[in-house]
Amino acid sequence: MESSDAYKPDQIAKIAETVGVTKANSAFLKLITLGILAGAFIAFGAMFYTQTITGSEFGYGPTKLLGGVTFSLGLILVVVAGAELFTGNNLIVIAWADKKVTTQQLLRNWLIVYVGNFIGAAMTALLVDLSGILASNQGAVGQTAINIALAKTSLEPLQAFVRGILCNALVCLAVWLCFSARRVAGKILAIIFPISAFVALGFEHSVANMYFIPLAMMQSEIQITLFDLLANLTWVTLGNVVGGSVFVALVYWLCYLRDD
């Protein structure tokens, strides 16, 4: 009978390495398509978050927590339904460190998936803009979306970078915990708390920003430029890479796979 116990950390490391090798060797069409899906999935979580926090009377902390729980939808869809998310794929570094994946394969995966994520998130932002749902609650939902983007583009480079590090440490830990689970329910529970934490704490996720900022740019009265978008994505993406690749993947490789 199959055990229902969670996989142990050393087993998770081997699972993560095997998954990393598979991802690094995936065909272009598969990667770009699943990357687009992941961008859309994260955008769905961002939509849910925006709608949920608009007009909330629960107070600052509880509202952030509630928003974080709803935003978790994005990674749940990525993990359970299946998609390729750039931030989660930073864990491929564990296979790279063990010399099972080349630097070229690693960077190829990241580039294709990153582009796919942007296409999926930005296209979803366009559909949201065209749908008219931003006019909900007398336009309050649209104003919330704009305020989110303005807060993100007003961050100093160091702030964006550090928030990116902290964010993807939690995102990759959520994915890491998913590897430990043997059931769908376990994977969902593994996702909710780390993702709720990074959202509630105000950390920065590059793929989420691929939705939030373009959506605000589509509102004609808001002056958010392409430069603002690129500046934010540059620093947040670099932070995400450090947070996921170094603080999670390399640390666990050092602990569980280096001796092998």
Listed by start position, the domains of the chain span 27-256
Q: What angle do CA 29, 38, 246 make, to 5 degrees?
A: 100
pLDDT at 86: 98
Say how far apart CA 76 and CA 71 lie, in whole Å.
9
The pLDDT value given to residue 98: 94
For domain 27-256, say whether CATH 3.40.250.10 is its number: no
Closest CA to 94 of 15, 16, 25: 16
Residue type, 58: F
The answer to whether 237 and 165 have CB atoms below 8 angstroms apart is: no
By CB atoms closer than 10 A (0-12, 13-18, 19+), residue 159 is middle
For residue 135, how many C-alpha atoms fall within 13 Å in the half-sphere facing its CB? Answer: 4
pLDDT in tens, the chain (260 residues): 456 678 999 999 999 999 999 999 999 999 999 999 999 999 999 999 999 999 999 999 999 999 999 999 999 999 999 999 999 999 999 999 999 999 999 999 999 999 999 999 999 999 999 999 999 999 999 999 999 999 999 999 999 999 999 999 999 999 999 999 999 999 999 999 999 999 999 999 999 999 999 999 998 677 899 999 999 999 999 999 999 999 999 999 999 999 75
Q: DSSP string of 191-219?
A: HHHHHHHHHHTT---HHHHHHHHHHHHTS
pLDDT at 6: 87
